[in-house]
Structure 1
Amino acid sequence: MVQPTTRGESMLYPDFSFSRDYADQLQQNPPTGSHVINSQSYGPPPYGIPRGPTFSGAARQDSFSQGAVGAEIGGQTQSLGIVLSNQRPPQAKRGPFKTDDERQATAETRKIGSCIRCRMQRIRCQINPEDKLGPCLTCQKVSNAKIWRLPCLRYKITDVRLFKPGQVKGHEWTRRWREGVPDDIPQWASLETRVVMVTEGYTNRPVELQVRQFVPQEGDALARSWVYEGKKKSVDIPPYAIVNLEEVKTAYDEYIKRGIWECCQALLSHKEKILLGTYLAAMKHAADPRTPQKEKELLKKVLQLWMAIRVTTKSTVIVGDETLGMPRDIMDETSPLRGQIPLPPVMGAQIELVLIHQIQVGLRREMLENLQTMIQANKQQTWFATYLVTFILLHNVSLLCQHDAGYARKHGFRSRFAREDMVREYQLGANILLAYFHYCNKGIYPFSPECREQDLSTLAELDKNKIKFVLLTRKAVEEHKKHWAKIRQSGDCENDFYYISQLYEQNWQPQAPV
């Protein structure tokens, strides 16, 4: 699907540059015996990624880089209020339950969850006995004076889904590791170890892996397939697998930490500049020595998770001289991987299992727990980090929808998405993130022209550079407001701005799943 573009419209973000100082602080030094090969030429990228210009050091410093920081809704929803107050109520010390009914009601609330307003204000969320999943009685009692209306939603940040759980049912590359715990191959066809270099094309540094031929077992895919003009095509691939999966985790951990900025440039530099500019702002804020440590850690985790997800949503190919005996033209002109050397299926399954279960799962848990803690504290000084993290996670949802739709087209699905149930989960997660962000704004719209400087200072503690970033974003939002509204109305959740643009909506309401 071709996305609507705002490229012809004048954006407010000039070309970006990213100082090596920021990259050095953001990324860790690789350990001795690195599996990530230093940048070197393997010929032009074979993976079809439009490359943006390379930005170095202090060259071409621009106004943005100088100013951007040195689902499904079950039951009835009812417009309910959030009290506009700058004062947090003191946390109540809960005494013993006075009655058994009160004890049972609390247990039931814990079971189905508190709504956002009650959770944020740390007050008792009273379930409506006539509609237990509907608006709570606490919200219904709120006075309509001086409130910003948001439906009573039982959302929890740690429920947000951020990546695919594995391969599409019926299209698995192996049935060896059904529990999601990868283990080394038990039976090898040869003890000869070969060294291959693989990449999905987001950086100029491929990952080095040691592989061997293995003895196939039932359920192992031995061919790569695709659909062209309604006909299924396939090509046989030699059965190779990775020798040591612990080395895979080490290699990809390092690859992700070192490659975030390159990945952002490769994926975003040819798109609207507000995207790359906001990712750059997140990196700078994470690297700024003045940024509190908890915010730094949160931003680093969300950026690492974002890149780890990108690696699992694009085909990885073999580059370099070692091709495991496959000719350069093994994939013909009808294949999306034409002219490239594909991964053997079991080897691809190994990489995906490690990335999902040993890297993404841990990063997601830690990042969402930290984000939930920060949002529920609802402090002025954390608003900026909350915005950046929410922006990146919402963009991730659009990218996941793009991937799922692309996979469905590649393999000839009749449905729009290959994992329709998971896409609904992604979209519910977007609603959760948006609901908390809009609650934390306390009825102030920081990216609207009507927002006064006094309102902005009430909402967040921002220095001059952060204020400049907000103002630049505000101008871009105003210029593209009508275009983004059309994207939302069309239900184009694959568009980069379908979810991001909802950050800037006034009187936001949760969107039904597309």
Structure 2
Amino acid sequence: MPCLRYRITHSNLYRTAFYHYPFFKNHLMVGPKYGDFHIQRNWTQTDIRVLEVAQDSNVVLRLVVREFVPSFEEFGSDDTRGNKMYGIPWAIADPEEATKEVNRYLDRCIGDYLGANLDYSDHLVWGIFLWAVRLSVFPQPNKFLSDVIRLWVASRFLEGRWRCVGLNTLGAENLSHRYGKEEIVQVPPFVNYQMAAVFTQRILEPLRVTVLSQLQRLILSNRKENWFTITLSVFILLHNYEQQCRFHRDFARRRDFPVRFVEMPVINAIHSGAKTILAYFHYACKGQRPFSPEHDWSKDEANDTAHLDRDQIAFVKKCRHLTQNNVHLQTVRDGHDYEERYWFVGQLFEANWVPKETKECSLLA
């Protein structure tokens, strides 16, 4: 049994801060002061506008924004791209309405995000997600798997790439980007910060609490029929960690930082969460090694171990084949290239898994 002082429900699943940048140390994305919505703004008489933005698809997120007058102290703040945070002094008008709109956007864009961010040719990853999507609706709706997928998609919202797509850009077409040319009209910096705060506090945090609580219940209930659902969900959560490490590596590379990851507190939290979730998963296997060559899924007692049907058994065998013969997975297993494909998800398939030694200090680029 995993040590009880490490609970799945304590795990972080996404970034909650940018520790490297002064603005984000003082302006939080979580908690009662998230997004600076608690500040009484000095609104101008300008009419409200609708800012249309998009990220990894053509699905549009529409946010109602208002112009305000920044305080004198605010004028010196920069964003992560070298733009003045208050250079375009517009803010989200109502965080409650923005939250409703983001949830509607999430409902509409899940398929687009899976298609844009997953590699069809990666039969292991694509197969896991297909099974999770299938079981989230058939033979009856599975809200847990649906929430896991929603959390994975919403986590991508924190990885940049947002662009203005409507006629109303508030002057954002003049924004600069010190770290490379982008053929997009960026989102005004302060609105971009508030969007990230809404994504984090109002969308991801409720999903995190729900998903991890349910995952912990499924594992600790010790019911064999939960194994396949647990496997799918754990894989997707580990893949989410993998995507985040890749984002943070690219973030440092684009800005020519001498280290591999700028935000080591975030990376350390990722490792802590992954180790906890993996410990519980391997506990849930009850001493069985379902992905090892020795496990014979053709035997009735092996089938009974996880209460799988014929299609599910065939898929588990396929996963075993894909991982046992994957040179890349074997190569990255013992290194510290946390952004590499399979570094996290590959640990799910290890027959004799033990927590990996990870570096808590900055790694050189």
In the TM superposition, 1:224-303 aligns within 5 A as 226=81, 234=83, 237-269=87-119, 272-290=122-140, 296-303=142-149
Question: Secondary structure, in 3 states, of the residue corresponding to 1:208?
Answer: strand
In the TM superposition, 1:347-358 aligns within 5 A as 347-358=191-202
The CA distance in 2 between the partners of 1:476 and 1:435, in whole Å, is: 22
Offset at 1:234? 4.8
* Residues paired across the two proteins, number: 351
The CA distance in 2 between the partners of 1:239 and 1:493, in whole Å, is: 38
Matched residue, 1:170:
21
In the TM superposition, 1:426-437 aligns within 5 A as 426-437=270-281
Offset at 1:243? 1.4
Q: Which amino acid aligns with 1:211?
A: V
Closer/same/farther in 2, CA of residues 473 and 176 from structure 1, 3 Å limit: closer
The CA distance in 1 between the partners of 2:20 and 2:179, in whole Å, is: 21
Closer/same/farther in 2, CA of residues 348 and 330 from structure 1, 3 Å limit: closer
Is 1:461–2:298 an aligned residue pair? no
Offset at 1:269? 2.9
Matched residue, 1:363:
207
**Matched-pair contact (CA < 8 Å) for 1:174–1:220:** no
Matched residue, 1:311:
157
**Matched-pair contact (CA < 8 Å) for 1:180–1:353:** no
Matched residue, 1:507:
352
Closer/same/farther in 2, CA of residues 284 and 162 from structure 1, 3 Å limit: same
Offset at 1:377? 0.7
The CA distance in 1 between the partners of 2:10 and 2:75, in whole Å, is: 33
**Matched-pair contact (CA < 8 Å) for 1:162–1:426:** yes
The CA distance in 2 between the partners of 1:221 and 1:381, in whole Å, is: 57
Closer/same/farther in 2, CA of residues 495 and 249 from structure 1, 3 Å limit: same
Matched residue, 2:2:
116
Offset at 1:155? 2.8
Closer/same/farther in 2, CA of residues 163 and 337 from structure 1, 3 Å limit: farther
Matched residue, 1:488:
333
The CA distance in 1 between the partners of 2:76 and 2:53, in whole Å, is: 19
**Matched-pair contact (CA < 8 Å) for 1:241–1:344:** no
User: Gaps (5+ residues) in structure 2?
Assistant: 360-365
Matched residue, 2:363:
none
Is 1:156–2:1 an aligned residue pair? no
The CA distance in 1 between the partners of 2:24 and 2:264, in whole Å, is: 20
Is 1:192–2:47 an aligned residue pair? yes
The CA distance in 2 between the partners of 1:440 and 1:210, in whole Å, is: 46
The CA distance in 2 between the partners of 1:316 and 1:418, in whole Å, is: 21
Deviates more, 1:183-192 or 1:237-246: 183-192
Question: Secondary structure, in 3 states, of the residue corresponding to 2:150?
Answer: helix
The CA distance in 2 between the partners of 1:316 and 1:439, in whole Å, is: 40
**Matched-pair contact (CA < 8 Å) for 2:20–2:262:** no
**Matched-pair contact (CA < 8 Å) for 1:198–1:319:** yes
**Matched-pair contact (CA < 8 Å) for 2:291–2:350:** no
**Matched-pair contact (CA < 8 Å) for 1:222–1:238:** no
Matched residue, 1:30:
none
CA RMSD of aligned residues (A): 2.4
Closer/same/farther in 2, CA of residues 310 and 337 from structure 1, 3 Å limit: farther
Matched residue, 2:252:
408
Q: Which whole-Å deviations, capped at 9, do the CAs of 1:106-140 have from their partners, x for residues lacking one? A: xxxxxxxxx527x6xxxxxxxxxxxxxxxxxxxxx
Residue number among 52, 66, 75 corresponding to 1:212 in the alignment: 66
Question: Secondary structure, in 3 states, of the residue corresponding to 1:491?
Answer: coil
**Matched-pair contact (CA < 8 Å) for 2:53–2:62:** yes
Q: Which whole-Å deviations, capped at 9, do the CAs of 1:130-189 have from their partners, x for residues lacking one? A: xxxxxxxxxxxxxxxxxxxxxxxx532112110111233424369455754342662123
Offset at 1:308? 1.2
Closer/same/farther in 2, CA of residues 303 and 440 from structure 1, 3 Å limit: same
Q: Which amino acid aligns with 2:21?
A: G
Is 1:373–2:217 an aligned residue pair? yes
Closer/same/farther in 2, CA of residues 221 and 471 from structure 1, 3 Å limit: farther
User: Gaps (5+ residues) in structure 1?
Assistant: 1-114, 120-153, 227-232
The CA distance in 2 between the partners of 1:471 and 1:277, in whole Å, is: 12
The CA distance in 2 between the partners of 1:163 and 1:361, in whole Å, is: 9
Offset at 1:406? 2.3
Residue number among 44, 51, 57 corresponding to 1:203 in the alignment: 57
Question: Secondary structure, in 3 states, of the residue corresponding to 2:271?
Answer: helix
Residue number among 484, 493, 497 corresponding to 2:342 in the alignment: 497
The CA distance in 1 between the partners of 2:147 and 2:281, in whole Å, is: 19
In the TM superposition, 1:42-57 aligns within 5 A as none
Residue number among 433, 438, 458 corresponding to 2:282 in the alignment: 438
Question: Secondary structure, in 3 states, of the residue corresponding to 1:116?
Answer: coil
Offset at 1:353? 1.1
Matched residue, 1:123:
none
Offset at 1:383? 0.3
In the TM superposition, 1:444-455 aligns within 5 A as 444-453=288-297, 454=299, 455=301
Give the TM-score normalised by the residue count of structure 2. Answer: 0.88
Offset at 1:330? 4.5
Q: Which amino acid aligns with 1:427?
A: H
The CA distance in 2 between the partners of 1:196 and 1:212, in whole Å, is: 10
Matched residue, 2:189:
345
**Matched-pair contact (CA < 8 Å) for 2:23–2:77:** no
The CA distance in 2 between the partners of 1:323 and 1:222, in whole Å, is: 21
The CA distance in 2 between the partners of 1:186 and 1:164, in whole Å, is: 27
The CA distance in 2 between the partners of 1:426 and 1:177, in whole Å, is: 19
**Matched-pair contact (CA < 8 Å) for 2:88–2:190:** no
Question: Secondary structure, in 3 states, of the residue corresponding to 2:325?
Answer: helix
Question: Secondary structure, in 3 states, of the residue corresponding to 2:74?
Answer: coil
Offset at 1:449? 2.5
Closer/same/farther in 2, CA of residues 326 and 386 from structure 1, 3 Å limit: closer
Asked which structure has the greater CA Rg, the reply is 1
**Matched-pair contact (CA < 8 Å) for 1:166–1:352:** no
Is 1:422–2:266 an aligned residue pair? yes
The CA distance in 2 between the partners of 1:225 and 1:495, in whole Å, is: 24
**Matched-pair contact (CA < 8 Å) for 1:487–1:495:** yes
